[in-house]
Amino acid sequence: NAGVMQNPRHLVRRRGQEARLRCSPMKGHSHVYWYRQLPEEGLKFMVYLQKENIIDESGMPKERFSAEFPKEGPSILRIQQVVRGDSAAYFCASSVSRPSNTGELFFGEGSRLTVL
């Protein structure tokens, strides 16, 4: 059973371009979470999705950032018109059920975005 798969592992964009980060959850997992990790900072929650639904986006910046988890295919975190401050590691996690209900939460290897 493959773990949480994220791609690309590394992404370089120029200011103003778009970044798309993909996350395929573990098999059988329908809950996906996105976190951002800035250098020397902890993990900051961004968004929680179930298939076709955004459950909690309280950590998402209001502009330029969006996330989806379609019925088929991976979850996608999209950053439009990237700025240097968007440079960070973006981690995806998945779980079978809502983790607070005793479910374990597994993370991918992360996607490292560098904005030039």
Contact between 74 and 23 under an 8 Å Cβ cutoff? The reply is yes
Q: Which residues contact 12 (CB under 8 A, 6 or more apart)?
A: 113, 114, 115, 116
Interacting positions 15-74 with another protein (CB under 8 A): 33, 35, 41-45, 48, 56, 58-59
* Position 110 contacts another protein (CB under 8 A): yes
Q: How far is CA 106 from CA 13, 24, 76, 83, in A?
A: 28, 12, 17, 29
**One-letter amino acid identity for 45?**
F
Q: How many residues bind another protein (CB under 8 A)?
A: 24
- Least gap, CB of 41 to another protein (angstroms): 7
* Position 100 contacts another protein (CB under 8 A): yes
Give residues in contact with another protein (CB under 8 A): 33, 35, 41-45, 48, 56, 58-59, 91, 93, 99-100, 102, 104-110, 112
